[in-house]
Amino acid sequence: MRALDAVRRANRPGPPEHSLRLRAACLGTVLVAVAACASVHEVSPATALAAAALITVGMAFSYVTRTRPPGWVKVLIAVGASAAFVWFFHSVSSPSVDITGVENPLTLLLVSVLVVHSFHVPARRDLLFSLGASAGLMAVGGAQAIDLRFGLFVVAWSCFGLWALTEMWTSASGGGRISAAGLVAALTALTAAAAAVFLVLPAPVVASRVALVSRAGAGGAVGVPGALAGDSGTPAQLSRAGSTSSPSRVGGYLGFAGSLDTALRGTLGNTLVMQVRAQRPSYWVGETFDTWQGQSWTQSRRTTTALRFGSPFVLPVPVGADPVGQADLQTFYIAGATADLVFHAESADELWFPTQTVFAGQDGTVVSPIGLGSGSIYTVESQVNAPTAAELRDDTSGQTLPGTAQAEYGQLPHPYPRVLALARSVTARDTTTYDKVQSLIGWIGSHTRYSLAIPPLPPGADTVTQFLFGDRVGFCEQISTSLAVMLRSLGIPAREAVGYVPGGYNPITDLWQIRADDAHAWVQVWFPGYGWQSFDPTAVVPAANPSPGATALKDVAAALRRVPWVPVVAVLAVAGLVAVLVRRRRSRPPTWAAQVAREAERAGRRAGRPRRPSETFAEYAAGLDALAGNGSTTWERLASSVEASAYGGHEPPPPAQRAMVAEARHTRVHRRAASGVGS
């Protein structure tokens, strides 16, 4: 019975809410939440518009009937909500629907509930429910948002929500208001609390098997399925080897093609290429190269296997890879036209892709059959094997790569006696592969410099020889190639990998943002017990001739580019508007008489006739009328009313007060226009 009583108490209708402001604020939160869901395609624009219209009508109906809500409305709400729930459970109960398929029905369910609920919102408690439901709707939209534009909706929703909550206090306290200082203190505390939690909480993680999203975006057909294409933004155009005359590749990068020319490097730019939601940062591999030709890398294993089973694609184990590791889910959100390579963390083993076919190479390269343009989404699960340094040192099993792979990944176009001598001298004291790699990386870091501003190598020049024994200045492809060649000269299998560095982490969206200039090349070294392990020698190479001023300017420019200007400007604009309104409100005279007096004094000042300290207002007004010289006694008449109010207690009715203020303003403006005297 106690539970029954509690239910009855909970369902007891509250007192009707008469505050129109509170209803408007709650309506604002709900409409913003619906718009936010529409912006991330959780609901269609037509559905969003219909829902917004119905909710507005429902809120108006609730306000009109707040004192005596019709009984049939409750029946309608019960039927509508039940129908929405039945439809929702029917939609998600299909065996083919995974967890990601619940999002759209859940959004529609929430919108439907908000629509039917809006017709019965008589009390404050019901409005609070609308507020909470709008928060849920915002969360559903936020789950799909991958850029900072969603921040506009968050800011708008927060403003409406705060307005609603402060109006709720006004209503609950019988007209209480929060002072400006109190509101600022509350907002400051709220922001501090939210920021503290934001700073303390760990980053969200992708729960296993939850976010397996894939969607085709703007792309187009690839001219030759399975071939590398799209490097110039056109999927139909096949990738070409880089050349000094045509550096038009993905973001200017020459690597995402059948070969990698290390003699030159194009201008990469800073455009956003993709965003990645991942459990951990990784080097996102696009493809690898095994054959070194002195100035460029090529692939000897160019054949790919077509996988035609649809998602999830089970990818074959690449040659030399260790198939056992820690599962690592990554979802890639493509932001701009890119190559048709499926980027992934090392050793991808499963892929959710919006096509029925993908092409897998023996080295782990995965090629898309469609162009990957803006809006494309795919998810990869990789097996990440990250042994410790000690484990790699102990990996001395002596095994070799299977078949011809050992020779392929140790291939050199010609003997490099100087390179071999250098590598031996650097690694003379090292006994393990790992120590040798680290010694070589250390030597490169202490003897070479990084620079993008170097001229293309002349045709026929050997990149490694030029880099190691020439000016020792180069970029990532040259640095990593030099390491790979030194390792190969020592008999250690190594290959060149190209892709992207993890990029910048956006703490708001929890996404790694990869820009064109994040394109990178590094070295993968094979360890018998752990497969291919990545090493990035470029990371330890200092920049050549660093210019503090140029570096600082570049950092500042980069920081400014990453500022979310739209939300920042919006917040500043709103804050400025509020400040102006508050200032105007504070500077407004408190009474009508003071307003009239102020108008008269302004008119006098502009006419060069400021009020003297010893002058009464009536005297001053008479002086102003005399100054006008047209026989008008407007100021005198107004002054008479003001003094009668101030000293005689004859307070005119409010309409007359407003009329006198308006007349004073009118007189000030029009006399000035007519005669130049406030006049």
Partner 1 sequence: MNLRARPARPVAPIAVAVGVVGLWWLVAHNGGAGWVQLLGDVVFGTLLIGVVGPWAVVARARVTVRSAPADACAGLPVDLQVDASTRLRVRPVEPPGPEVFVGPARRRGPAPDRITVVPSRHGLHGAVTVDIASAAPFALQWWTRRVRLALPSELHVAPRRGRPERPRTEAAEESGEVHERPRMDAGLPRGARPYAPGDNRRLVHWRATAHAGHLMVRELERPSAGPVTLMVDLPADPDEAERVAERALGTVVDLLATGAPVMLGTLERSGRVLAPVADRRGAGRRLARAVPAGGSPDAGGAGGG
**Chain residues in the site for partner 1 (CB under 8 A):** 124, 132, 135, 138-139, 141-145, 150, 154, 158, 161-162, 165-166, 168-179, 182-183, 186, 189-195, 197-198, 201-207, 210-211, 277, 506-511
**Nearest to partner 1 of 388, 587 (CB atom):** 587
Residue 61 or 505 with smaller CB distance to partner 1? 505
170 vs 396 by CB, closer to partner 1: 170
CB-wise, 228 or 278, nearer to partner 1? Answer: 278
Q: How far is the CB of 329 from partner 1 (least distance, A)?
A: 9
d(CA 52, CA 49): 5
> How many Cβ atoms from other residues are within 10 Å of residue 65's Cβ?
16
Q: Using the minimum distance from each CB to partner 1, give the nearer residue, 141 or 217.
A: 141
Please, what is the minimum distance in Å from the beta carbon of residue 38 to partner 1?
A: 15
The token duo for 475 is: 């970029």
Least CB distance to partner 1 at residue 191 (A): 7
- For partner 1, give the closer residue by CB, 66 or 124: 124
Give one DSSP letter per residue of 462-528, joined into a string: -HHHHHHHSS-EE-HHHHHHHHHHHHHHTT--EEEEEEE---EEETTTTEEEEEGGGEEEEEEEEET
Shortest distance (Å) from residue 447 CB to partner 1:
41
Name the 3-class secondary structure at 327: strand
Angle CA(594)–CA(600)–CA(603) in degrees, nearest 5?
140
Task: Tell me the closest approach of the beta carbon of residue 199 to partner 1, in angstroms.
Answer: 9
What b/e string do you get for 13-42 counting C-beta neighbours within 10 Å, with b at 16 or more?
eeeebebeebbebbbbbbbbbbbbbbbbeb
Cβ closer to partner 1: 275 or 481? 275
* CB closer to partner 1 out of 173 and 399: 173
**What is the nearest approach in angstroms of partner 1 to the Cβ of residue 257?**
33
Output 81 or 162, the one with its CB closest to partner 1.
Answer: 162
CA 130 to CA 115: how far, in whole Å? 10
Taking the complex as a whole, the smallest distance from the CB of residue 120 to partner 1 amounts, in Å, to: 21
Instruction: Extract the tokens encoding 393.
Output: 């040192």
**Cα(621)–Cα(601) distance, integer angstroms:** 9
Contact yes or no for 422/464 (Cβ under 8 A): no
The three-class DSSP label of residue 225 is: coil
CB of 277 to partner 1, least distance (A): 6
| Alpha helices by DSSP H, 40-149 | 45-64, 71-92, 103-117, 124-144
Q: Provide the minimum distance between the beta carbon of 47 and partner 1 in the complex, in angstroms, as a whole number.
A: 21
**Residue 377 — φ and ψ, nearest 5°?**
-135, 135
Place of tokens 């306290």: 173
Work out the number of other CB atoms within 10 angstroms of the CB of residue 593: 23
Decide if 427 contacts 491 (C-beta within 8 A): no
| Smallest separation (angstroms) from partner 1 to the CB of 506 | 7
CB of 578 to partner 1, least distance (A): 16
Residue 449 CA: distances (Å) to CA of 48, 310, 454, 542, 589 = 56, 46, 11, 5, 69
Count of beta carbons in the 10 Å neighbourhood of residue 518: 22
* Comparison of 76 and 143: residue with beta carbon closer to partner 1: 143
Nearer to partner 1, 510 or 663 (CB): 510
- Dist. CA 269–CA 518, nearest whole Å: 9
Q: Report in angstroms how near the CB of residue 60 gets to partner 1 at its nearest.
A: 23
* Beta strands 449-450 and 473-474, pairing class: parallel
Q: Which of 158, 183, 44, 139 has its CA nearest to residue 567?
A: 158
Contacts of 249 (CB under 8 A, 6+ apart): 231, 232, 239, 242, 255, 256, 257, 266
Write down the least CB distance from residue 133 to partner 1, Å. 12
For partner 1, the closer of residues 1 and 201 by Cβ is 201
Residue 642's identity, in one-letter code, is V
- Of 204 and 402, CB closest to partner 1: 204
Residue 124 or residue 671: which is nearer to partner 1 going by CB?
124
- What is the Cα 533 distance to its own chain's centre? 31
Q: Give first-to-last CA distance, the chain, whole Å.
A: 80
Reported as half-sphere exposure (CB side, CA atoms, 13 A), residue 594 has a value of 5
**Closest approach of Cβ 337 to partner 1, in Å?**
25
